[in-house]
Chains A and B, each alone.
Chain A
Amino acid sequence: MKKSFTILATCVAVTLTLLSPGLMPVVVAQSGQTQGVPLSQVLDKVRVQYNVNLLFETKVIAGKTTKYVVPAAGNPEQVLRELLGPLSLKVVKIDDKNFAIIGVETVVVPDKKPVPPTNGQVPATGAGTGTVQTSNGVVAGNGLREVKGKVLSAEDGTPLARASVFIKGTKLGMVADKDGGFSFKAPETATTLVVNFVGYKSVEIPIAGKDNIVVRLEATVATGNDVVVMGIINRKKESFTGATSTFTAEELKVVGNQNVIEGLRALDPSFIVNENNTMGSNPNVLPEIEIRGKTSIDTKALRDEFSSDPNQPLFILDGFETNLRTIVDLDMNRVESITLLKDAASTAIYGARAANGVVVVETRKPKPGAMQLFYNGDFKFEAPDLSGYNLMNAEEKLEFERLSGRYMVYSPTLHYQQLELDSLYSSRLTRVRRGVNTYWMNEPLQNGYSAGHSLRAEGGDSKVRYGAGMQYRQQEGVMIGNKRQTWGANFDIIYRSGKMNVSNKMFVNGYNANESPYGSFSRFAQANPYYEKYNASGGVDKYLEQSMGRTLSTERVVNPLYDALLPKENSTKNFAFQNNLQLTYTLTRDMQLQGGVQLTKGTNTNTNYLPPEHSSFDNATIFEKGKYTQRQWDNFSYQTFGMLTYGRLLGGKHQVNGNLRGEWQESRNESYQTSALGFPAGSNGNPSFSYGYDITGRPAAASSVFRRTSFLASGSYTFDRRFVADFSLRMDGSTAFGVNNKYQPFWSAGLAWNLHQEPMFKNVSWINSLRLKANTGLMGNQSFGSITSVSVYNYLSSINSFGQGTSLTTLGNPDLEWQNTTQTNIGTDFSLFKNRFSGFVNVFRKYTEPLIVAVDLPASTGLSGYPTNVGNLTNDGIEVNLRYAIINKVDKRTFWTVGVTGIHQKATYAGLNNSLENLNKAQQDNLSLQRYKDGYSPDDLWAVRSMGIDPANGREVFERLDGQYTYDYDASQVQVEGNQRPTAEGTFNTSVTLKGFTFSAFLRFRFGGDVFNTALYNKVENISDANLMYNQDRRALTDRWKNPGDVARYKNIGIVGASGTIGLSATGMSSRFIQEENTIAGESISVGYDFDRQKWIRKMGMKTLRLRAYMNDFFRVSTIQRERGIEFPFTRSVSFSLNTSF
């Protein structure tokens, strides 16, 4: 009984707080009572003794005492009046068993839509002595009606005992009984019920004309914008200070139907997918993802075989860590929601792994009911986008060669060889004149097609629910033979009984990935157009031509088609099994205990075979032609956790939440690789046909065991729904931290202010919600392999008469500190003008100190790539997401919104103090444009400043650091000539909904970012004898300096490295090749129609039917011309999806 009272009081308080703009204290209560028993105790007594319900706000009785002695028998109303009268409290009789207590001095202003008095009496303000008033000013006593019904869980229909049911704007109502039932008298004027239950969304139900009201409450743990799913812990958005974005499967599917990555990229400004200029749109290559920029200097030297990109976010699938491959291959139809955790408050619960943000994916939970079948079909057609290529045709290429001096002997003393060169030229010219102008780039390409099917069944009752699904998808990339098949099957079951909830998710999946036998696309992009693909008899020769080079050496040009048509293999097979078991036990109403175990097992096999005929073996001995390599990789891991959650509203205004959690994870990785070398000609690649093992090749094997454990305490406190404070503290223990330093603490703290809950804004009609929030915290980065503070030795491959030997692989750095990132976020999210204008703005700083850098020391120290702590990196940025609904007609299901998202970031090094000068020297030697210097950004492009080409002589003029002009390129004279990071990047988006029809479009803009145009550097200039054998950029012929006086962008035509007049010195990396690239790209357009309301759907036995068509990456406008997709082209795609249920 006592418990139900507390709940009731809580609910009343909640309801009242919702109404609080209407509450205006007129008189301050002054109770003269100083002695006696607390009123609450006396009221308890009344309640028990007379078996009545008492409804009141806790604050009206707070601190009040009385000496009143409750009579053993009597009229409860009379007793209450006697008891409460002297305490300036009024009793309102609702019915025989229900009484409400209100403060006399609390005057309630009528609701904004005043209910017309039914009895003609003018509602009085202030409490008249003889009149009983309800808080909305309706006079009780007559016109009461019965309100009754049931409160059920929308999810599974279980009754929700103790849900609170109130007439909106009043304190009238009750708490549902154990069957979820409620029944009480309410004024006939009452129009709306408010139903609340902890853990469920509050709903308002119109009651007019309804006798039996069935209320279905949706659990807040399901998705929804007011709850933040953090994988570990779910928190109400209103009591949370972190910066997060949540997207439902529906929202993601509006962007594209292939994977969730493209959706996240379009929807959130901080989720950046870096363009992979080398691998283009190869479906077998993983995207490089960052959230809010980079925190690490990516030095491969520090990563072991099993570690991941140290700038990649952490991925959590159903509460457990997973890898990027799983996320990319995840069937979108299984996704319930995805949440991006971007700042300290949201990611700190992931501690040591969270410095780069977290992507939390929740898969669908089966819904109860009769069995339902869902089918999703996703189809995609894609075509290569070669718009970046600007290659010469046969005529141009030959002319370019002639101008370069390809057909002139390099020394006059060899004039007798000129004849052969002349005849070579004329034979090529004849071919060109004959009309040979071969287009090679189409050879390896096709139109890609992919089809995905996903079938799902679910159902169950309030106790047991099940879901089962199968997915299969076949993708064919735009390069012939490039393939990817993914498949998966899952079985989910949820069992609920009393206080126990058991849920198990099993998932088996795998893929087969094949790379194109055509190899790198660049081989076709560089093939000369004056060669014919096929010989006279229609066959493919290995060599297109064997001719005498300019330096009289033999030049053999391999036909790329020959290599492509050989039998070869480059395939990966993957199989993975995953089982998540989760138990939830409700200890008390406020406290829950959870536990979970996940098991994962995966096997991945990569097979690579190059036949002996392949041109890469041309110079190998006969027993070394052909190579077969197989690598197998096994992974087993388990993760387990236990968690205690507590949540309670104290004293009406103090909402307290807390979590304690312990986690353990072990991950074992093993890899094994063998190579067979030497195959007979015509071999099919079966390793048993090989001549033997690679001479130097022992089988390569690696294994690692990684364990981590963590303990987390997190909590939040909300005062009056207005002020929020939250914190989390996490101790992370990991084998990666080294022996002497197993544990690392991580923390976060944040504050938020819900302005819309402030009394002064409650009346402001155009503010629907407005929150300010700020948080800061410390996060770690574990993706550095297992660098330890102790020295690590490895067994040597050789032995001697004394047996085995070991040698240092890593000299321990006992002073090495872990790379930690302090994140700070200040932001606001808002919804204004009847929710028409909404969005968020966040300003953030990520401060990483110290960085871990692999520093190269003089070779005599015996150490190279030695991990060292040095300097710090600050990444400042601002992210914006704004939406405006131009048309917002909920009732007509008609919406039109426009939106913009964007991010601006700037990263700066500091504290390096020239300690990385040797790295800078190495960068200079390696022709890299990056430098490590205080005050500069990792994205800065360093190059020698070019003043252009001297029209007088065609030579490049450089500006030295001291401002002097020179013809001499000096690599030490570099300065910042650009920055790769765009000034701003984001999308413009719009969406239209008109009844069942939906349309949406996302345009990506990216401006202010500079790129080093490699096509200009390698294919317009810097063409050596070897490069002259390949096709080049057309600008090499047209845009280069020819005669004195020409104002040209590029040097005169010649051969780099040749002697004499045609000789050119190699062009250095100067600012001439750094160009600002501004782009606008059509990321996604989609049109969909929802046939749900069409009758013919039912006739066909379907419950729902939805069709959607997409165009992705359908156009791209750039301010510069550069080659994109070097080894695999980028694509444009059209896709369709069909969703239906039976």
Chain B
Amino acid sequence: MKYNNIKVALLLATVLFALSSCTKWLEVQPEDKLTEVQLFTSEAGVRSALNGQYIEWAESPLYGNQLTMGTMEVLAQRYNIGTQHNRRQWFSYNYADVGVASTIESIWNSAYVSIVNINAFVAGLDKYKGNLAGKTDSLFRGEAIAMRAMMHFDVLRMFGPMYSTADSVLPSIPYYTKASTTINPLLNANVVMDSILADVKSSLGYLSNDPVRANGPMRIAVGDGNDFWRNRHQRLNYFAVKALEARIQLYRGNKPAALEAANAVIDQIGGYFPWVTSAAVLSNKDNPNRVFSNELLFGLFSIRMYETYRSIFAPEIADAQILAPNDTRLKNTFEANENDYRYNPSWVLPNVGSKSYKTFFKFADVVRTDSSFRYLIPLIRKSEMYYIAAECSTDPVKQLEYINTVRFNRGLTALPATANVTTELEKEYGKEFYGEGQMWFYYKRKNFTRILNGTTTTTTSYVNLSKLQYVFPLPLDETRFR
């Protein structure tokens, strides 16, 4: 009997212990979130992690609004922002204003949150190696590294010094290639530029087998399970990265390298990114392709684009909130040329909202909801390569040729041989990139000390710009912890 008791006790003790140590039972996978392991061990997971950053980029603090159609264009004096307008503080470059500072902070934070995500993504690819085919791994990696470069580049363009001055060696922003708590130092702008170009270079290496090079962007999804590698123009593909390189090199002032990259894009894209036709823009009244989607080397798909449009451009919006240029100024920008594909379809005198001026329709929705260009926010255009080539080329004939190619495809006549390339390029930037955020950086790159005031109709009223306006102050969230 006694032995039996001991046996029972021992048995029970063993059972108790065995049961309590069932480790498997403790492996709970959350239902409303995903762990790193879950994500990186399937290709679908890896895709969603990468795609997540494109989605975040298309949100308002980044390319969904502030860095494209909103804030950057306000800074470039593109819209008529009166004294009562809610963007007035931006318009007058008052970066100390609470509202402005909080937007700056949200841009900075969103950019770096995206960077930490990208870095965690690259680290995840390394950590869970072997779950993807080598070729796909390399494409994922290439895109992610390019995203890192592009985001840092735009942060540098906003928060960095006026690069083409002696300030290019001033401390600017930190560059992060790892997701960690390590606080990276504020690097000199030229050092940041080196890092950006290094990332671009390595990205191009990883993307050398990008399907876009063989098959073009493949703008039709077919639903065969491989659609993630279609619509290449909606993510950073090989050509987009190469174009980005041209943009970066030009910003850096390395014109030969910029020319080389721009030409490489122009030469290699072949017929995959055809110029927009007048039929698509002008004749198709209900469904005008105002963003010229076929020409986009890179454009973000933003599901909130029309929501954003309705909140900042729609004619119903009050004068104090709408983003719309002064009508005369707009006319001057487009040299009153109604033939320009970029002018008529995108600028309409609305019949609602009792506006006496044209409002911006570039990002307005179209009638046919199956149009493939819906929701696209242009980020890198083929035309920019022609502009870069024109700016960097040393041959005056070629320079005009590049500009005229674009003009021809915008329904304009060729420039006379006497035309001033620099002046014409500035005009072209003004027309081509309305609502795309590039104008402000153009001014900054070229150190414009004054630009036309967005509120006046005269061509003689300027606002003065210096590094006080060109360089965003680092937000408090950054500086107080440094």
Contacts and interface: CB of A to CB of B under 8 A. Distances in A.
B20 A800 contact: no
A804 B228 CA distance: 11
Interface string A724-735: 000000010111
Contacts of A705: 28, 30-31
A71 B34 CA distance: 84
A793 B33 contact: yes
A660 interface: yes
Contacts of A918: 480-481
Contacts of B307: 695
Contact of A788 (B22, B35, B47, B53): B35
Contacts of B51: 800, 802-805
A742 interface: yes
A1059 interface: no
B249 interface: no
A663 B25 CA distance: 13
B34 A806 contact: yes
Interface in A170-191: none
A711 B20 contact: yes
B32 A703 contact: yes
Given A705-B30, A793-B34, A860 B108 contact: yes
Nearest to B235: A802
A730 to B, nearest CB: 10
B248 interface: no
Contacts of B481: 856-859, 918, 921
A686 interface: no
Contacts of B56: 796, 805, 807
B35 A739 contact: yes
Nearest to B477: A859
Contact of A664 (B19, B174, B228, B478): B19
B116 A863 contact: yes
B112 A644 contact: no
Contacts of A791: 35-36, 120, 124
B174 A860 contact: yes
Interface string A790-812: 11111110111111111111011
A588 interface: yes
Interface in A149-184: none
Nearest to A663: B20
Q: Size class of B's contact patch?
A: 35 or more
Contact of A662 (B20, B33, B36, B53): B20
B20 A701 contact: no
B46 to A, nearest CB: 10
A791 B482 CA distance: 25
A402 B17 CA distance: 78
A707 B25 contact: yes
Interface residues of A, number: 71
A664 B302 contact: no
B224 interface: no
Contact of A858 (B12, B30, B124, B183): B183
Interface in A988-1018: none
B16 A804 contact: no
Interface in B39-91: 39, 45, 47-56, 58-59
A793 B35 contact: yes
A794 B26 contact: no
Interface string A208-246: 000000000000000000000000000000000000000
A133 B227 CA distance: 104
B179 A862 contact: yes
A861 interface: yes
Contact of B53 (A661, A706, A807): A807
B423 interface: no
B9 interface: yes
A48 interface: no
Interface in A856-914: 856-864, 866, 868
A501 B90 CA distance: 77
Given A662-B16, A811-B120, A739 B27 contact: yes
Contacts of B52: 793, 796, 804-807
Interface string B1-16: 0000100110011011
B113 interface: yes
A704 interface: yes
A642 interface: yes
B332 to A, nearest CB: 35
Interface in A736-765: 739, 742-743
Given A793-B33, A805-B52, A857-B481, A642 B16 contact: yes
A887 B5 CA distance: 52
Nearest to B374: A801
A921 B479 CA distance: 11
A462 B302 CA distance: 74
B354 interface: no
A734 B307 CA distance: 44
A861 B49 CA distance: 19
B269 to A, nearest CB: 21
Contacts of A708: 26
B9 A591 contact: yes
B30 A862 contact: no
Contacts of A798: 55, 58-59, 303-304
Nearest to B109: A859
A587 interface: yes
A710 interface: yes
B195 to A, nearest CB: 14
B202 interface: no
Contact of A857 (B13, B54, B114, B181): B181
A660 B13 contact: yes
B475 interface: yes
A386 interface: no
Contacts of B15: 642
A790 B174 contact: no
A656 to B, nearest CB: 14
A661 B13 CA distance: 8
A804 B301 CA distance: 12
A922 interface: yes
A925 interface: yes
Contacts of B418: none
B26 A662 contact: no
A702 interface: yes
A856 B479 CA distance: 12
Contacts of A922: 480
A808 B117 contact: yes
A403 interface: no
Contacts of A788: 35
A788 B58 CA distance: 29
Interface string B464-482: 0000000000011111111
Contacts of A591: 5, 9
B131 to A, nearest CB: 16
B181 A806 contact: no
A644 B15 CA distance: 11
A593 interface: yes
A437 interface: no
B112 to A, nearest CB: 4
Contact of A861 (B8, B45, B116): B116
Nearest to A646: B9
Contacts of A856: 477, 481
Given A858-B478, A861-B181, A863-B116, 20 more contacts: A588-B5, A642-B19, A704-B31, A711-B17, A733-B26, A735-B27, A792-B36, A793-B49, A793-B52, A798-B304, A801-B221, A804-B51, A806-B48, A806-B52, A858-B479, A859-B108, A859-B109, A859-B477, A860-B112, A861-B176
Nearest 8 A/B pairs, CB to CB? A862-B116, A805-B52, A662-B20, A800-B301, A711-B20, A859-B477, A662-B16, A805-B55
25 contacts: A644-B16, A662-B20, A701-B32, A702-B32, A705-B30, A708-B26, A709-B21, A711-B21, A739-B27, A791-B120, A793-B36, A794-B32, A794-B34, A798-B55, A800-B54, A803-B51, A804-B51, A805-B49, A805-B50, A805-B54, A807-B53, A858-B478, A859-B475, A866-B181, A918-B481
